[in-house]
Amino acid sequence: MARRSKEEVSESFHNAPSSSPEGGSASELGRRGFLAWFLGIGTVSVAGALSVPLVRFALDPLTRTSTETEWSDLGSVDDFTETEVPQKRTISIIQIDGWRKVTSDKVIYVIKGADGTLGVFTAVCPHLGCSVKWNDNNHQFKCPCHNGTFTNVGKLVSGPPPRDMDTLESKVEDGHLKVRYQSFRNLVKTKEVMA
Ligand code: FES
């Protein structure tokens, strides 16, 4: 076999396609790299687009208000004839707390006004939220935490509470007194429903 000259060997070396240790040409590797990059970007974009509604769905309960409650039936209006001493009732309410439905007992008071209308108010003190109790001896409501006192219709008499006891929305339906329980912000002069 004829031996090739040094120049021929050198020329054929330069004309040969460049190769990598893995066996692919440089241009092939470039195409593969671009394809991998393109697929990676596409995957991340699709995952990002899909994750938005999923995250919204997952967080939705956290953004819902927890103060919307059903009307509670307090019984016949004929049961509420007292105009001097507020009548205590305990109602069970259901509230939405994130992903959970929470049932809790709430104390309320009902008193009949001079005009015959029924007033309903919560026992939660508007100062720091302690439970206000009726005191027969003083004929007043008294808060045990910081001695806030209120009249029998919930008007502030003395102490640190910034406002009267909070009245609740009520109505008479088919001869029954109904109330819609809500929670209100503490430490402010005006009644604000908690969001
Ligand atoms: S919590 Fe009622 S007076 Fe402070």
Contact 86, 152 (CB under 8 A): yes
- Which residues does ligand 1 sit against, CB inside 6 Å? 125, 127-128, 130, 143, 145-146, 148, 159-161
Please tell me the distance between residue 154's alpha carbon and the centre of ligand 1 in angstroms. 14
Q: Which atom of ligand 1 is nearest to the CA of 147?
A: 3
The two tokens of residue 132 are 């206000």
Contact 152, 139 (CB under 8 A): yes
Tell me the pLDDT of the chain (195 aa) as tens digits.
444 545 444 444 444 444 444 555 666 767 777 677 777 776 766 666 666 555 555 555 455 545 567 899 999 999 999 999 999 999 999 877 777 888 899 999 999 998 999 999 999 999 999 999 999 999 999 999 999 999 999 999 999 999 999 999 999 999 999 999 999 999 999 999 986
Question: Does pTM surpass 0.75?
Answer: no
The Cα 126–Cα 186 span in angstroms is 5
Tell the burial category of 139 from Cβ atoms under 10 Å away from its Cβ (0-12, 13-18, 19+). exposed
Q: Pairing relation of β-strands 149-150 and 140-142?
A: antiparallel
Pocket test for ligand 1, best of 107, 122, 127 (most atoms within 8 A of CB): 127
Residue 159's CB is within 10 A of a number of other CB atoms, namely 15
Pocket test for ligand 1, best of 107, 133, 135, 145 (most atoms within 8 A of CB): 145
Question: In the chain, where do the E strands start and end?
Answer: 71-76, 87-97, 100-112, 118-122, 133-135, 140-142, 149-150, 156-158, 169-173, 176-180
